[in-house]
Amino acid sequence: MDKKGRRYEVVFSGSGGQGIILGAVVLAEACGIHDGKYVCQTQSYGPESRGGFSRADVVISDRPIDYPMATEPDLLLAMNQTSCDRYHPELKADGLLVVDASLVSQIPAGRTVAIPFTEIAREQFGTEMVANMVSLGAVVQLTRLVSPSKLRAALTARAPQHTADLNRAALNAGIRAAKKIDVACLENLGAPEEEDV
Amino acid sequence: MDKKGRRYEVVFSGSGGQGIILGAVVLAEACGIHDGKYVCQTQSYGPESRGGFSRADVVISDRPIDYPMATEPDLLLAMNQTSCDRYHPELKADGLLVVDASLVSQIPAGRTVAIPFTEIAREQFGTEMVANMVSLGAVVQLTRLVSPSKLRAALTARAPQHTADLNRAALNAGIRAAKKIDVACLENLGAPEEEDV
């Protein structure tokens, strides 16, 4: 279910305190450093950043990347309602929306996976701070963009040492939660049609 | 000495363990979230990433940014010799090269500031891990891209709580080190000529 030879765009979005950028950096390094792909990872800030919104793009390809930002995301992770409302219109026609069901109640129609990342983080680990790692685990399980072992290696190299065990456990909780999703109803996932160039 | 109305490109470069990306993210958030500028911050990974090289771009502007990566850097921070050799040719004609004098011995001719960031980190703080913050403080002091107080605010929001005091002290050490630089010999710095559009 690899996305060989094509450009795959992921947008992580949420609020400033949710660790959106760390999630994006870990995915980028898992794919770029540990899996040898071409990856661009970008944050943009503008006047709206002062409102506490956070967005991070990851573009992954087997070939050198021309434009480094997501223009038509294959996957949007929305960790709050505002991000979901704001970025969902950009999603590709057959793109996948992954929302934090703890914080997003109004979910647009379409190919959507809703998992309560924040609730899982709080209930299983006693802190909402690892909701970003729970969601990252789920994103990787759903898309098979990179192997869980390479994802864990990237996380270990990037996150502070004293949080390594907690972060790894959160990642695994996200992987488990995503395994329960009925992927039969997400038929395009992992087997994208060839695009015209 | 503000860079009002123009695009300013900074490239942070070094090896994987030097905290290059954190430095770039903190500068981006100081300018973007705390100072209301338009900022794009990008990491790219390719086959060479497996060699342990790390590069992070920050593009800062008062206007919306078209292309998010640095194409002709105004400032290159090189935290090791390989990065210096590799990225120096991209530097703008009147651009500023800032090198870690602890690790870069062959310094290209031109507008260059050499400060022993790693040595300062080790000698003053007992750990080389904060060399990235020492260098970030120096970059901001040399360029006046953002005020030290906004830089500190961004650092506090981004870096792990338990390292906040250490990181802030390292930032200040970099600011102090850069204040000793004779800026008279860096005449273009902070007062860029108007560019043709």
Look at residue A5 in the predicted model and tell me its pLDDT.
65
- Which residues contact residue B196 at a Cβ distance below 8 angstroms, ignoring those fewer than 6 apart? none
Beta-carbon separation of A160 and B160 below 8 A: yes
Checking phi first, is residue B77 left (phi over 0); if not, alpha (psi -120 to 50) or beta?
A: beta
Closest chain A C-alpha to B35 CA, distance in angstroms: 9
Residue B136 lies in a domain: yes
Q: In what order do the strands lie in the sheet with B112-115?
A: A112-115, A96-100, A75-78, A8-15, A53-61, A38-45, B38-45, B53-61, B8-15, B75-78, B96-100, B112-115
pLDDT per position as a tens digit, A32-86: 999 999 999 999 998 777 778 899 999 999 999 999 999 999 999 999 999 999 9
Specify the amino acid at residue A78: A
- B17 DSSP assignment: G
Task: Give the chain A residue nearest B60 (alpha carbons).
Answer: A45
ipTM above 0.90, yes or no: no
Residue A176 lies in a domain: yes
Reduced to 3 states, what is the DSSP secondary structure of residue B41?
Answer: strand
Q: Does B16 touch chain A (CB under 8 A)?
A: yes
Task: Give the chain A residue nearest B53 (alpha carbons).
Answer: A33
Beta-carbon separation of B39 and A25 below 8 A: no
- pLDDT by residue for chain B (197 residues), tens only, comes to 344 568 999 999 999 889 999 999 999 999 999 999 999 999 999 877 777 889 999 999 999 999 999 999 999 999 999 999 999 999 999 999 999 999 999 999 889 999 999 999 999 999 999 999 999 999 999 999 999 999 999 999 888 778 889 999 999 999 999 999 976 676 554 444 444 44
Residue A194 lies in a domain: no
Q: Does A160 touch chain B (CB under 8 A)?
A: yes
Look at residue A161 in the predicted model and tell me its pLDDT.
78
Beta-carbon separation of A16 and B39 below 8 A: no
Q: What is the span of the domain harbouring residue A179?
A: 8-185
Using the CB atoms, write b or e for A106-122: b if 16+ within 10 Å. ebeeebbbbbbbbbbbb
CA A163 to chain centroid, in Å, comes to: 20
Q: Does A128 touch chain B (CB under 8 A)?
A: no
Look at residue B191 in the predicted model and tell me its pLDDT.
40
Cβ(B26)–Cβ(B56) below 8 Å: no
Closest chain B C-alpha to A187 CA, distance in angstroms: 30
Chain A segment 88-107 residues within 8 A of B by beta carbon are: none
pLDDT(A197) > 70: no
Reduced to 3 states, what is the DSSP secondary structure of residue A178?
Answer: helix
What's the number of CA atoms in the CB half-sphere (13 Å) around residue B20?
A: 25
Residue A98 lies in a domain: yes
Residue A195 lies in a domain: no
Residue A1 lies in a domain: no
- Select the residue of A46, A65, A68 nearest B64 (Cβ to Cβ): A46
Torsion B187-B191-B192-B196 (CA) sign:
negative
- Gap between the Cα atoms of A77 and A187, Å rounded: 18
Residue B18 lies in a domain: yes
pLDDT category at A162 given cuts 50, 70, 90 is: confident
Look at residue A116 in the predicted model and tell me its pLDDT.
98
Which chain A residues contact residue B162 at CB under 8 A?
162
Residue B153 lies in a domain: yes
Q: Is A82 exposed, middle or buried (0-12, 13-18, 19+ CB in 10 A)?
A: middle
Beta-carbon separation of B45 and A25 below 8 A: no
| Mean model confidence pLDDT for chain A | 90
Look at residue B5 in the predicted model and tell me its pLDDT.
64
Look at residue B183 in the predicted model and tell me its pLDDT.
66
- Gap between the Cα atoms of B24 and B6, Å rounded: 19
Which chain B residues contact residue A42 at CB under 8 A?
40-43, 68
Domain total of chain B: 1
Beta-carbon separation of A68 and B37 below 8 A: no
- Gap between the Cα atoms of B99 and B76, Å rounded: 8
What CATH number is given to the structural domain containing B153?
Answer: 3.40.920.10
Which chain A residues contact residue B39 at CB under 8 A?
43-46
The residue that leads in pLDDT, A141 or A110, is: A141
Q: Does B71 touch chain A (CB under 8 A)?
A: no
- Select the residue of A42, A64, A157 nearest B46 (Cβ to Cβ): A64
